[in-house]
């Protein structure tokens, strides 16, 4: 005899996390794409759409609390719900980074960027890919994958350091670029932080599977360690 | 059936059970390779566990899994059932309670019991609590009154009944009756209190009252409670043992057992997927 209703509710909860995850992935990619093509209207839409992400996150939180109150979950079920609470928060924060990039895009306005966007879209793609696989690992209860993904955060950090150094050369060469370069640095910073949030999600995946609270922050010493 | 399907509990698990709780606390009851039979029918298989003093140990598992049988072995209540047989050892403070020459009446004074349904005697509140000390000749007169008062205070009932001690105990509410039975168990100065589903006949408020009382009694007694209610085990106990088909499948700290049990069968049971 199982608890079919509860099983279905738990399943739905995890599907809701996937839906929220894909909304956040899209927001992140679209924020950088809108910046690249100087599409202020798209950036404005993204800022408004963040509200939907926030509402989804609150809905997931409410579902979790209802399940705890009504089903008294234990062991693996309890860990899953605790992980969902944490993961939904992390996703909402990544949504905020996407919104932040859209805001920076509006601040830059319609003028030309101080440099062509090459590494920043790469960072966005890398962050999106890591996030996508972290959520897959959660659904599949794949602790090995969850342990491996944060190691890739170093690639994101390396790209961030590269963007930083490149922007510095622009600033040194022409101090009038300080504003524009700083704006792009903020964008890169938001993407770098996304990698850290993905690492937190991976920690929750391992907790769900094994019950162990593991610190997976393998960040190397350097610029982004101070962020 | 066992978690690994082999029919036997791993020796390493037993060793872990021994060492895990006993590190900092004193073992009150040590059970070694206990087998129990109703005539030729085995009911408990090779159960080994240390039960600590001044802690609450909960025993969970589906109906018929052997948890109540195990509980009744701890003060030889099963002796009253014809055709039962015990193998292995149960040591209370290091002495085997099944050794020849054991004074079973004294054993049951030291290891008291509270049952599923409150079972006060059809006597006054005072006489219910005074019954044990009188029969055992522990006290009389003023001293007996003091024992009754202290026992009722420990059971959290004194303030409610102190002006009606001569009233019929059966007029009390069910929750009060169960606390009276606990006072009656305490009155003979036991060291261990066994509780067999002590809240199953009570409403939620009375249940919470008994649970709170258990936490207070834990300061003075070793408590072993059998419960069907896993939330209750999670709320009140320090240690939990999970029985399944006569075997102790897992024993560990309550916190660990309910958040990350080591055995798949325990996980399946507490999450409602088995049993």
Write out pLDDT tens, residues A113-155. Answer: 999 999 999 999 999 999 999 999 999 999 999 999 999 999 9
Q: Is the pLDDT of residue B15 over 70?
A: no
Collect all residues with Cβ–Cβ distance below 8 Å to A189 and sequence separation of at least 6.
A160, A224, A227
Instruction: Report which of B23, B40, B70 is spatially closest to residue B249, judged by C-alpha positions.
Output: B70
- Asked if the interface predicted TM-score (ipTM) of this complex is over 0.90, the answer is no
Judged by CB atoms closer than 8 Å, whether chains meet at B270 and A75 is answered as: yes
pLDDT at site A218: 63
Chain A, chain B: beta-carbon pairs less than 8 Å apart: 35
In angstroms, the Cα distances linking B159 to A173, B163, B164, B176, B177 are 85, 8, 10, 12, 14
Tokens, residue A78: 């309890």
Give the mean pLDDT of B206-229. Answer: 93
- Edge-to-edge strands of the sheet including B84-92? B41-52, B27-38, B84-92, B95-96
pLDDT at site B201: 85
pLDDT at site B23: 41
pLDDT confidence tier of residue B274, bands split at 50, 70 and 90: confident
- Residue-wise pLDDT tens digits, B162-208: 999 999 999 999 999 999 999 999 999 999 999 999 998 888 888 99
Give the mean pLDDT of B62-74. Answer: 95
Distance separating the N- and C-terminal Cα atoms of chain B: 12
CA distance linking residue A133 with residue A121, whole number of Å: 18
Q: Which positions in chain A touch B230 (Cβ < 8 Å)?
A: 72, 74
| Closest alpha carbon within chain B to A75 | B259
Q: Is the pLDDT of residue B17 over 50?
A: no
pLDDT at site A4: 82
SS3 state at B214: helix
Judged by CB atoms closer than 8 Å, whether chains meet at A3 and B267 is answered as: no
How far is the alpha carbon of B11 from chain A, nearest alpha carbon, in Å? 23
How far is the alpha carbon of A144 from chain B, nearest alpha carbon, in Å? 19
| Cβ-based burial of B86 (10 A; exposed 0-12, middle 13-18, buried ≥19) | middle
Instruction: Report which of A16, A4, A79, A84 is spatially closest to residue A53, judged by C-alpha positions.
Output: A16
Rg of chain A taking only CA atoms, in angstroms: 19
Percent of chain B clearing pLDDT 70 (strictly above): 91
Which of B234, B270, B273 lies closest to A2 in CB terms? Answer: B273
pLDDT at site A41: 97
Q: Is A73 left (phi over 0), alpha (psi -120 to 50) or beta?
A: beta
Give the mean pLDDT of B71-75. Answer: 97
Q: Beta strand B111-114 with B222-226: parallel, antiparallel or unpaired? A: unpaired
Tokens, residue B105: 């009446």
Residue with the larger pLDDT of the pair B20 and A67: A67
Instruction: Report which of B84, B77, B183 is spatially closest to residue B127, judged by C-alpha positions.
Output: B183
How far is the alpha carbon of A210 from chain B, nearest alpha carbon, in Å? 8
SS3 state at B272: coil
Q: Is the pLDDT of residue B14 over 80?
A: no
- Residue-wise pLDDT tens digits, B229-271: 999 999 999 999 999 999 999 999 999 999 999 999 999 999 9
pLDDT at site A222: 55
Give the mean pLDDT of B151-166. Answer: 94
List of chain A residues with pLDDT < 70 = 1-2, 218-227
| Closest alpha carbon within chain A to B259 | A75
């Amino acid at each position: 005899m199982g608890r079919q209703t509860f099983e279905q509710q738990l399943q739905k909860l995890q599907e809701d996390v996937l839906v929220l995850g894909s909304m956040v992935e899209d927001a992140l990619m679209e924020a950088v794409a809108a910046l690249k093509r100087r599409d202020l209207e798209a950036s404005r839409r993204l800022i408004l759409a963040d509200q939907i992400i926030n509402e989804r996150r609150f809905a997931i939180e409410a579902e979790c609390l209802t399940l705890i109150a009504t089903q008294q979950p234990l062991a693996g079920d309890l860990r899953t719900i605790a992980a969902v609470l944490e993961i939904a928060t992390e996703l909402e924060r990544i949504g905020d980074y996407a919104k932040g990039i859209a805001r920076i895009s509006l601040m830059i306005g319609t003028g030309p960027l101080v440099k062509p966007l090459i590494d920043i879209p790469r960072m966005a793609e890398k962050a999106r890919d890591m996030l996508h696989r972290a959520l897959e690992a959660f659904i599949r209860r794949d602790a090995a994958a969850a342990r491996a993904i944060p190691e890739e955060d170093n690639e994101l950090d390396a790209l961030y350091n590269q963007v930083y150094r490149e922007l510095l050369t622009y600033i040194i060469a022409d101090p009038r670029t300080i504003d524009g370069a700083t704006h792009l640095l903020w964008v890169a910073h938001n993407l770098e932080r996304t990698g850290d949030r993905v690492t937190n999600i991976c920690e929750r995946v391992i907790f769900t599977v094994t019950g162990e609270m593991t610190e997976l922050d393998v960040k190397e010493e350097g610029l982004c360690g101070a962020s | 059936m066992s978690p690994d399907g082999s029919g036997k509990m791993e020796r390493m698990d037993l060793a872990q059970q021994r060492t895990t709780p006993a590190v900092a606390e004193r073992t009150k009851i040590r059970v070694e390779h206990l087998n129990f039979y109703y005539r030729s029918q085995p009911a408990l298989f090779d159960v080994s566990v240390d039960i600590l003093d001044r802690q609450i140990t909960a025993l969970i598992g589906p109906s018929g899994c052997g948890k109540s049988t195990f509980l009744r072995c701890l003060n030889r209540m099963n002796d009253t059932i014809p055709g039962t047989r015990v193998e292995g050892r149960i040591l209370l403070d290091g002495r085997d309670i099944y050794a020849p020459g054991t004074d079973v009446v004294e054993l049951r004074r030291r290891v008291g019991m509270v049952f599923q349904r409150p079972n006060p005697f059809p006597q006054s509140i005072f006489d219910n609590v005074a019954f044990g000390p009188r029969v055992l000749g522990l006290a009389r007169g003023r001293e007996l009154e003091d024992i009754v008062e202290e026992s009722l205070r420990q059971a959290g009932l004194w303030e409610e009944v102190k002006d009606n001690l001569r009233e019929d105990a059966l007029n009390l509410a069910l929750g009060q009756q169960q606390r009276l039975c606990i006072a009656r168990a305490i009155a003979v100065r036991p060291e261990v209190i066994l509780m067999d589903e002590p809240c199953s006949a009570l409403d939620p408020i009375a249940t919470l009252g008994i649970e709170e009382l258990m936490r207070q009694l834990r300061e003075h007694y070793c408590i072993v409670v059998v419960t069907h209610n896993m939330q209750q085990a999670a709320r009140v106990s320090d240690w939990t043992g999970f029985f399944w088909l006569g075997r102790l499948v897992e024993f560990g700290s309550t916190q660990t057992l309910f958040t990350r049990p080591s055995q798949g069968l325990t996980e399946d049971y507490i999450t409602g997927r088995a049993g």
